[in-house]
Homo-oligomer: A and B are copies of this chain.
Amino acid sequence: RIKASGLKLQLCTNETQATREKFVKKLQGMGFDISVAEVTAPAPAACRLLKERGLRPHLLVHDDLVPEFAELDKTNPNCVVLGDAAENFTYANLNEAFRLLIGMEKPVLISLGRGRYYKETDGLKLDVGAYMKALEYACDVQAEVVGKPAKTFFESALAELGLPPEQVIMIGDDIVNDVGGAQRCGMRALQVRTGKYRPCDENHPHVKPDAYVNNLAEAIDILLQQL
Q: Is A124 an interface residue (CB 8 A)?
A: yes
Interface size in chain A (residues, C-beta < 8 A): 28
Q: Which of A4-12, A44-52, A88-96 contacts B (4 or more CB under 8 A)?
A: A88-96
* Most chain B CB within a 10 A radius of its CB, from A99, A131, A137: A137
Q: Is A136 an interface residue (CB 8 A)?
A: yes
Which residues of B lie under 8 Å from residue A102 when comparing CB positions?
Answer: 117, 124
Kindly supply a per-residue 1/0 record for chain A positions 6-50, scoring 1 wherever the CB is within 8 Å of any chain B CB and 0 otherwise.
000000000000000000000000000000000000000000000
Partner of A133 from the list B90, B94, B125, B136 (CB cut-off 8 Å) is B136
Kindly supply a per-residue 1/0 record for chain A positions 114-134, scoring 1 wherever the CB is within 8 Å of any chain B CB and 0 otherwise.
001100000111110111011
Copies of this chain in its oligomeric complex: 2
Residue of B nearest to A115 (CB): B138
Shortest C-beta distance, A199 to chain B (Å), equals 18
What are 6 of the A-B contact pairs (CB < 8 Å)?
A86-B91, A95-B126, A98-B117, A98-B124, A130-B138, A131-B134
Partner of A130 from the list B89, B123, B126, B137 (CB cut-off 8 Å) is B137
Which residues of B lie under 8 Å from residue A157 when comparing CB positions?
Answer: none
**How far does the alpha carbon of A131 sit from the alpha carbon of B126 in the complex, in Å?**
12
Which residues of B lie under 8 Å from residue A140 when comparing CB positions?
Answer: 116
**How far does the alpha carbon of A90 sit from the alpha carbon of B89 in the complex, in Å?**
7
In the A-B complex, list the 9 residue pairs whose CB atoms are closest, starting with the nearest.
A130-B134, A133-B137, A134-B134, A130-B138, A89-B91, A133-B133, A116-B138, A98-B126, A99-B124
